[in-house]
Amino acid sequence: MKMRWLILITVLFLGCTENRTVNDPAELGNILEKFYQESNPPVLVAAHRALHNDYPENSLAAIQAAMDNGVDIAEIDVRRTRDGHLVLMHDGSVDRTTDGEGKVAEMTLAQIRELALESNDEDTLVHRVPLLEEALLLAKDRIMLDMDMKSVPVNQLVSMVHQTGTGGQVLFFKRDFTVLDSVLALDSTLLVMPRARAAEEVPGILEKYHPKILHIDDSFFTEEVVNQISSAGCRIWINGLGVPDVKALTGFAESAYGPLIAGGANVIQTDQPVILITYLKESVK
């Protein structure tokens, strides 16, 4: 009954959301085919906190917009309410992203659901903080999700992914390797994305996890590191956040993203996913 209710909420939401698209919609089968392609893997686009240019970050509308515009991976952040519900929220408090105040861990779901997510002036819809379950059901069979695990019980996250049947499309992300170990201890078939803090960590991570994807930083984004990762059949995730995205937003997508791609990155996380997708399409013409 609860699952049918959540699906109904999602359907009603989709019917009320304006369809603002410039690219072909996402399709999970095609995304996974690209994700697992080891020979000359295509560049995948990851939307930071989903596509939040027109809609609030970590909202159902932002995830829907990401899917509508052909984004490959939507990054989301998960936290736990005082009464044990999993919701999407980046910060530890609701102050920045809603019209309320308070810490997520000290608020009940009912209290959080009363709040409206902050949005831009052109967006006339009222957006509520979504449950993780709602986000998973919305994304199911449509798009990959990069799930940034905040202070959340791992067993509850894994259980929710199993319950919604989305295990094959979710990346479990955490800087803390012990958390990733806990995920794999519960289900070794799930996809984890470790993050290396330095070049010296890369060989050990590759040997321990045999990951399909590894998050690295630009401080050690070198030919040697890229070759190590690529030779292990692993994708290279790097952020285009900050300076690259600012360049792209001012009309210089080539100088923003070109060096990342030329250097070997094949998953780029960005706050400007539509610009990056358009650039990728134009660069292969």
Q: How many domains does the chain have?
A: 1
State the Cα–Cα distance between residues 195 and 199, nearest whole angstrom. Answer: 11
In a domain, 250, yes or no: no
Q: Return the percent helix, strand and coil in the chain, to nearest 5.
A: 45, 15, 40
For 162-200, what is each residue's pLDDT tens digit?
Answer: 999 999 999 999 999 999 999 999 999 999 999 999 999
Residue 155 in this model has a pLDDT that exceeds 80: yes
Q: Is residue 71 included in any domain, yes or no?
A: yes
Q: What is the pLDDT of residue 16?
A: 46
Q: How far apart are CA 106 and CA 69, in angstroms?
A: 36
pLDDT tens per residue, range 135-152? 999 999 999 999 999 989
Could you tell me if residue 41 is inside a domain?
A: no
- Give the CATH number of the domain where residue 94 resides: 3.20.20.190
- CA 209, 46, 18: angle at the middle one, nearest 5? 145
Question: Per the domain annotation, does 130 fall within a domain?
Answer: yes
Residue-range definition of the domain harbouring residue 59: 1-9+28-36+54-189
pLDDT tens-digit series, residues 10-62: 444 554 444 455 567 889 999 999 999 989 999 999 999 999 999 999 999 99
**Is the residue at 138 inside a domain?**
yes
Q: Is the pLDDT of residue 133 over 50?
A: yes
- What global pTM score does this model have? 0.92
Question: Residue 78 domain-assigned?
Answer: yes
Q: Is residue 245 domain-resident?
A: no
State residue 101's pLDDT score: 98
